[in-house]
Structures are given as C-alpha cells and as structure tokens.
Amino acid sequence: MVFFAVLLLAIFTPKVCQVHIEECRIQFTHQPLHKYHQSGDFIIGGIASHGGFLSNSVTFTEQVPPELSEELVVMPKCYQHILALAFAVKEINENSHILPNYTLGFHIYDSNDNARKTYHATMLLLSTLEKFVPNYICDIQNNLTAVIGGLDTEISLHVATISHIYKIPQLTYGPAPVMSDKIPGYSFYQMAPQEHQQFAGILSLLLHFKWTWVGVVVMDNDNGERFVQTVLPMFTKSGICFAFIGRIPKVTFVSNSDNILEQGGKVHDEIMASKANVVVLYGESYSMAFFRWSPYLKGITQVAMSVKGKVWITTAQMMFIAYSIQRNLNLDMFHGTLSFAIHLNDVEGFQQYVKSRNPSITDGDGFIRDFWQQAFGCEFPDSMDNKMEGDICTGEEKLESLPGDLFEMSMTGHSYSIYNAVYAVAHALHVMSAGRLRHRGLVHKRKQKNWSQQFWKLHYFLRSVSFNNTAGDEVSFSENGEVVFGLDVINWIISSNHSLTRVRVGRMDSQAPPDKAFIIDEDAIMWHSWFNQTQPHSVCTVSCQPGSSKKVKEGEPFCCYNCIPCPEGKISNKEDMNDCNKCSDENYPSENQDVCIPKDINFLSYAEPLGISLAFLALFFALITALVLLTFLKNHNTPIVKANNRILTYILLINLLFCFFCALLFIGQPENVTCLLRQTAFGIIFSVALSCVLAKTITVVLAFITTKPGSRMRKWVGKRLTSSIVFSCSLLQIGICIVWLATSPPFPDADMHSVTELIILECNEGSVTMFYCVLGYMGFLAIVSFIVAFLARKLPDSFNEAKFITFSMLIFCSVWLSFIPSYLSAKGKYMVAVEIFSILASGAGLLGCIFSPKCYIILLRPELNNIHMLKEWAHFSKLPYFFFINFLCPSTSTPLFQSFLSLTT
C-alpha cells in the first residue's frame, strides 16, 4: 500500500502545482466525466478516446483557483468505438455457444487524451465500482479480465504501465507503443494492422503508380521519427525519394494553439509549394483533424494558398475525423485520398443498433449526451443554464443525417478491431472457463472464488485463440501478438455535402503469394478534380525514355536527374535506366537506341542477284575457255597452233578453265573445305597459268636469239626449258600454300563488328601474311612476264605472242593492283565479290588477249592459217624467207631451225 501511495503521488501530481498535496488530491480523485458501465460475471475494461478539455496553461504558486476555465471538446466519431464494444458484449451475451454459464459486462472510461486521466481511468478499472480505492476490490463480481485500449500509442503505454503489474491482458486497437530499452517489455495484443505490412503496402502503391517523388508528414514524436527511420531506407532502396519531411506537433487539448498554428502553417506551406503530388501522412488518430485546419493556419504564403490537389496516402490509424466546430470546413482537399485500412466486412445488426441509440434512454451511457450535443450542435435544456443561446436537442435527431467526418453509421476499422477484440477475449474466456469447470468442478457460479487471481492465465488462451467472427472473417494472433489480417486500400470520395464514401479499390495480403500480395484496381479510383480525373504523376524529373539514361544532378536526390542519350553502340530499353547496355554480338542497336535488333546473316550466296551474276560470268568464261581448248585441239596440226607451243597452250587453257571454276568456291556459305581450298587453289592455279605465260614468253625470246649465227643460247632451247619454268615456278607457290595450311590455315568465321547491322560469314585467312605472300608471288610472276614480253614485243608478228602477252599482263597487273585497295575497303560479301571479279577479269584478260587473235584466224580467217600466207606475212614483216620455209618445213630446215622447231612445237 505504501508503494502504491508513492506511485500515485508520482503519477498524478502536476508539475505546475506547488501548493499543498491535500488541495491537489481533491481534483485527482474526481472520477472522469465520461463512463459507461454494464455489470456481468466477467468485466472487459475499455479506455476510450472520446474527448478532452480545452484549457489555457495555468501556473499557480500560492493557492488553487476556485474554478479553472475548461471547455469539453468531444470527437463525435470516436463514440462509435464505445458502441462497438457494447454491441459485441450484447451479441455474446445473446449467444448460447459462447460463455453459456456466464455473462459479460464492461466498464468504459474516457482517457480525455491526457496522461493523468488515463492513469486515473485505469486505476478505476482495478477498483471497486464507484469507489476509488486503488489495489483493493470490495466486490468479488468486479472480475476485470482484459482491457481494450487505447486509440493512440501514448494512451496504450499509460494503460500498460498499470495493467502490466496485474498481468491483465491489454488489447490495443491502435498501433503498438514504441518500447525503449529502458522500459520493460509489455505484452500487447494488437488488433490494428501490422505497421510493417502497411509500410510494404504504401511502397507497393507508390511503385505501382511510379510515384518516385513524394512528401512525408509525420507527428513530431517518437512514432513519427520511427516511421521516418524505417521507411526512408526501404523507400530509397526501391528508388523513391522524399521531397520533404514535414513534422507537425502533437495536437492535445492543452496545447499552445499559437505555436501549433504557426508550425502547422509552415508544414502546409511546404506541402503546397512542393512539386510532389503525393503526400504520405503518418500520425495519430487525431492528425486528420489537424489537417482540416491547414488551409486556415498562420504563416501560409501566397504560393501555398493557391488551390492545388494532392494525393494523400494515410495509414490505418488515421481517421477522417473532425471536431464539432469543424463541421463547416471544406473537405475538398482530401477528396481522392488513398488509405490503408484493416480488412472488414459489414457486421449484421450494427447499424440498427446504432440507430436505436437515444439520449433519453441512456442505460448507463455517460458518453451519449455530450456526443449528441456536439455532433448535432445543440444543447439539452438542462445543460443550458437557462441561457437558451443554441438549438435545443430533442433527442429525435437522426444519426444517419450527420456528415461522415463527424459520424459514420457503418462500422469503421477501429470499431471493427474493438469488436474483434471483445470476441477474442470472450473465446479465450470460454476455453479457460470450460477447462476450469472440467478439472475442478463448479457448484454454482455465485459460490466460486474470485476469478481475479486466475486471469493472468488468460494470456495463454489469447495467444492460441482462432475463430470466425459474425462477419465471416477469421481472427487469430501471430507469435508477436498481432492480429493476422489483410489490408484494404480505400479510396475516399467526398461529396459536396461532406458525406464520405469508402470505395475499396485494392487489397494487401501478406499471406498471399508475392505476385498477388498487392492488388489495385486503377479504374475504380476517383482522383482529385485538380488532376482532371487522369492518373496523377509525382516525379522530380520526367522519366527518361528508352534510348537515354539518367545522370543524377549534383547535390540533389537521386530521383532528380538529367536524361542523356545513350552512346553509340548502346541501348536502354526501359524508362529511367541508370546506364545504357551494350547489345550482344548477335544484335545491334536500333536507330532510336531503345532495342537490340538481331543482325542479318550476310554472305555471298547463289540466291541473290550478285551471286547469280558472278556465277554466270564464271561459267560463261569457263565455257568460252573450253570452246577455245576444243578449237585448238581440233586444229592441232595447223600452222597457227603449231607455231605457239601446243603443250604450253593446252596447259594454259586448262588452268584458265580451272581459274574460272575456282571463282565458284567463293560463292555460298563458307565451310571448312571451301575455306581451305579458296585461296590456295586460286593461288596455285593462277601461278601455273602465269608460269605458262612466262615460259611461252621466254621461249619466244630464246627462239629468236638462237637464230642468230654463233648464238650460245641454243643449248637452252628445248622442251626441258619450258617444263622447268612451269614446274619450278608452280612448285614455289605450292610450297608457300603448304606452309600456310600447316601453320595457320583459313577457317570459317563470323565477323560481327565490321558492319553494324550484319553478321558476316566469311573465311578467315588465318595468316594474313601468308595470304599476301601468295598474292605477292603471283604479282612477281606477272611482272616478270610483263617485262619479258614487253622487251620482245617488236619481234615478227606472224608467230610472235609477246605483244599479246604484254597486253594480257598489263590487264592482269592493273586488275590486281586495283584489287588491293578495293578489297581492303569493301565489307562483307562485297569483299568476296571484289576478289571473284578480279579472278574473272584477270582470267578473261589472259584468255582474250592471248587467244582471241588466234581464234579469229582459225575460225573467221581460215585461209590465213596456211604456209603460203605465212610466207607473205614474213615478206611483209621483212623476215628471211628461209626462216619460214625451214620453220614450216622441218624436212628441209637447217639444224638451227630444227632446234627452234623442237622448242615451239
């Protein structure tokens, strides 16, 4: 008892009171004005937040004034919380399946939103009814089983300070208090939605609508700071920035109004001046009433006075609530608000129960008269002190006529939590009492001992309670004592007559799969008229479109950035990408650099016009070469054929035929075999052809040199010379190709970088050095042939090929000299086409320049292909007559021309 006396003095003594304790005690022992009692075997205590007293700050040091200026202010909407508790008790007492042998009762007191009166009300719950004697209960029927309350965290903590000592279960319908390390752990059963689930829901909502630039307004207390510390890293990690963090002072009934209005004006100024169209509100239940004043607060600038719609997002704790004096204030600024609320269904019979309330039939209800007066703005005659200044309350006023911010007929989220809390206690008591009856046996309930010593055991049953309420929702608690319930996303529609309509537009269910945990129906949402019924945007910077990336502005939050185009070769295919990505080698960026396009496969094929044309030319020249070869074979013994070394001629024609066929290896998709044969076959075949041309040129020169008397070159004349030239020159090229194939052979390859839009299938040369060695050696043979033929160009025309060889080598060298820059500048299939064209052009040059004059004589002027005409040509050419006679008539020729004949034939 001494301990409690000291405790009460410490709790209830005002800091401003500096007079005798006896004078102060008179005020503290006075019971709260509002109370509501109903007897029963088991009593459920209720701490309501129905109203409070407005008073000026008073400091006195000598004597307590006889009267303090106080004005009772009621929050009409909170009266429904009291009705929800009473209605639940009424239903349970009428239900024969729950506590059939017992009745429930309740004692409800008003906390007046005041710590001192909250402590007082809690102690009253633990005392004998109507007698404030702490820690002593005279009536054994005052079996306090549990306490339901309070609405705000501070009120809940004040209640827990006392109820925890007696191990009385406490079920809060507001958020759980923030416990510090210095405060012992109190056990709460939280009927309100879990806050971390609400935070996740707000984040999902912001991400769904891509609102990345939001404002936050919190209460300037521990809860508000905890909210900021919790959601700031969570939101930032998901790409959401805070445009501002406004802190408003806690509104109490004894607050300094001037200071609150000034601070509130600054917050309102910041909200309305911000470019953020979305504001997250986190506060106590009365916070919304404070925001109702915001358009009229002090210190608001002209910028903030401009009408500007916002999307307000609130948590389940906040209610659309108003003081009675705010009934005429405009609610339009909150039209379209999105709030999270505990999932609820309509409770059958509740609205009829509310409609039946009448101040003339109070039934012990000490709240209804003040509620009725302030809700309807009237006064009962016995409360007017004969002044008759206001409207008279008749008691016939209709609750359904009240605007929604003052009172709602349908059950609110807080009332639903209270309703479920009463049922949770009843079910726990039912199980507990059933076990007690079964094990101990009970004669008559009036003869049993006081239950108050047993209610600490109720915690065990509450933790495991699980039931379906009358609305069909399952109610159970988690391991942490938090009710397992989903959240509804509510869209508030505010009409011109201040009526409130709750439209359920979404759901947040933590028990559902991750992809279905958050559901929202955008089409069902009614936005504020300021947005012209289009989905609001709230971003610091308009999203960077695909094809660009973000560059954060220095010194500003990461949500504020500039959009820069992607560099060449990179793309961004989503909005607001931090960096551009490079396409894979198989793709290339689109023109707008917003998507990767698959590259086309590119190679010179037979299915395209260029491939068909080159293949046709190759076959055409091959056919011409074959016809020339057949012509020469058919005229094998004619003078024009015999005079030009038939064996070399045939070898040259066969190699030219292979040259034209070799061009076909370059057409079509590169394969291992074709890549190995392309350049090597081309190099060897052309080297043999050039060797034949060089041999023919040297043979002609040597033939005329040996005709001179006393020439020492005669020993070189013969078939061995031509064979040696062809064999040795070809063998060297073959050796180069063998080394090439042995060290770094060509192979099929895909060039993905030369042309942006194409994947070029090509034959990688393996060793570029060896490739140019092959070309260089061919060039060397061509130049040598050209020089020798050029020096012999003035020998007699009748059987001198040097002039034709000179022209052919001039064409050959010109083609391959122009080939090198063309080849290096071309890309893809055009590179292959250049090489094919060079092969065909050089081969056609050799065929045309060397063999066309002879074919002309054989086919068109056969009369010239005889010995007599050659004699005339010789005379015309001023050659010795005996030279042609001996050349064409080996039987009469001298030994000198026998050697020439053997060489040339």
Q: What is the pLDDT of residue 13?
A: 36
**Coil, helix or strand for 889?**
coil
Pairing of strands 278-282, 311-314: parallel
Residue carrying structure tokens 């506590």: 99
Distance, CA of 110 to CA of 78 (rounded, Å): 11
Q: In what order do the strands lie in the sheet with 42-48?
A: 35-38, 104-110, 42-48, 144-148, 170-172, 188-190
| Main-chain phi, psi angles of 714, to 5 degrees | -60, -35
Question: From CA 641, how far away is CA 634, in angstroms rounded?
Answer: 10
pLDDT at 880: 35
Which residues does 558 contact at the CB level (< 8 Å), separation at least 6? 239, 241, 552
Residue 453 in this model has a pLDDT that exceeds 50: yes
pLDDT value at position 352? 93
Predicted confidence band at 678 (pLDDT cuts at 50, 70, 90)? confident
pLDDT at site 32: 47
Q: What is the pLDDT of residue 116?
A: 86
Residues ≥6 apart with Cβ < 8 Å to 440: none
Mean pLDDT of all residues in 34-38: 89
Q: What's residue 451's pLDDT?
A: 52
Of 816, 840, 846, nearest to 663 by C-alpha is 840
Q: What is the pLDDT of residues 642-665, one digit of tens each?
A: 766 788 889 889 999 999 999 999
Answer whether 723's CB lies under 8 Å from 696's CB: no
How many percent of the chain have pLDDT more than 70?
78
Coil/strand/helix, residue 721? helix
For residue 26, give the nearest of 69, 68, 54 by alpha carbon: 68
DSSP string of 432-455? HHHHHHHHH--S-GGGSPPGGGTG
| Longest distance between any two alpha carbons in the chain, whole Å | 169
Chain segment 204-258, per-residue pLDDT in tens: 999 999 899 999 998 888 888 888 999 999 999 998 999 999 888 776 554 555 5
Q: What is the pLDDT of residue 416?
A: 93
**Per-residue confidence band for 21, with pLDDT thresholds at 50, 70 and 90:** very low
Q: Among 72-86, 121-135, 310-324, 362-376, whose mean pLDDT is lowest?
A: 121-135
How much is the mean pLDDT over the chain?
79
Q: How high is the pLDDT of residue 899?
A: 39
Q: How far apart are CA 758 and CA 598, in angstroms?
A: 9
Whole-number Å distance between alpha carbons of 328 and 390: 17
From the CB of residue 669, how many other CB atoms can be counted at a distance below 10 Å? 12
The per-residue pLDDT for range 792-842, each reduced to its tens digit, is: 766 655 556 677 888 888 888 888 888 888 888 888 888 889 989 989 998
pLDDT digits (tens, 9 = 90+) for 251-283: 655 455 556 666 777 777 788 888 899 999 998
What pLDDT is attached to residue 704? 67
Residue 215's pLDDT is what?
93
Q: Is the pLDDT of residue 389 over 70?
A: no
Percent over 90 (pLDDT), the chain: 24
Q: Give the contacts of 740 (CB within 8 A, at least 6 positions apart).
A: 680, 766, 767, 770, 771, 773, 774
* Region 398-421 average pLDDT: 90
Strand boundaries in 230-333, DSSP class E: 241-248, 278-282, 311-314
With a cut of 60, say whether residue 750 has pLDDT above it. yes
| Per-residue pLDDT at 882 exceeds 60 | no
**Is residue 775 pLDDT above 90, yes or no?**
no
Select from 87, 135, 318 the least CA-distant residue to 218.
318
Q: What is the DSSP letter of 421?
A: H
Model pLDDT, residue 18: 33
Query: Residue 843 is inside which H or E element, if any?
Result: helix 829-855
pLDDT of residue 306: 53
Q: Could you give the domains of the chain? A: 31-53+70-192+412-476 (3.40.50.2300), 196-315+320-337+485-531 (3.40.50.2300), 548-598 (no CATH), 609-636+646-855 (1.20.1070.10)
Which residue has better confidence, 29 or 498?
498
- Residue 461 in this model has a pLDDT that exceeds 50: yes
Handedness of CA 468, 470, 471, 476 (dihedral sign): negative
* Tens-place pLDDT, residues 543-598: 888 999 988 888 888 888 899 999 988 999 888 888 999 988 889 999 889 899 99
Residue 627 token pair: 């016809």
Residues 6+ apart with CB under 8 A from 861: none
CB burial string 687-698: b at 16+ within 10 A, e below: bbbbbbbbbbbb
Angle between helical axes of 867-876 and 881-888 (0-180°, round to 10): 150
Q: Is 51 helix (H, G, I), strand (E, B) or coil?
A: strand
At 174, list the tokens.
Answer: 């507001």
> How much is the pLDDT for 332?
79
| Mean pLDDT confidence for 9-28 | 35
pLDDT at residue 623 is higher than 90: yes
Q: pLDDT value at position 706?
A: 60
pLDDT in tens, 502-552: 899 999 887 788 888 899 999 899 998 888 778 898 988 888 889 999 888
pLDDT band at 11 (very low <50, low <70, confident <90, very high): very low
Banded pLDDT at 718 (limits 50, 70, 90)? low
Cβ–Cβ under 8 Å, residues 344 and 416: yes
pLDDT in tens, 95-124: 999 998 899 999 999 998 888 889 989 888
Q: Tell whether the model's pLDDT for residue 748 goes beyond 80.
A: yes
The rounded distance, in Å, linking the Cα atoms of 360 and 196 is 45
Quick check: helix, strand or coil at residue 182? coil
Distance spanning both ends of the chain, measured CA to CA: 145
pLDDT at 892: 35
Residue 341's beta-bridge partner residues? 488
Taking the CB of residue 586, how many other CB atoms lie within 10 A of it? 12
Instruction: Output the CA–CA distances (angstroms, integers) from residue 103 to 43, 91, 92, 129, 415, in the order listed.
Output: 9, 11, 8, 17, 22
684 versus 447: the higher-pLDDT residue is 684
DSSP conformation class of 860: I
- Please report which residue ranges of 2-78 form alpha helices under DSSP H: 2-12, 21-28
* Residue type for position 581: N
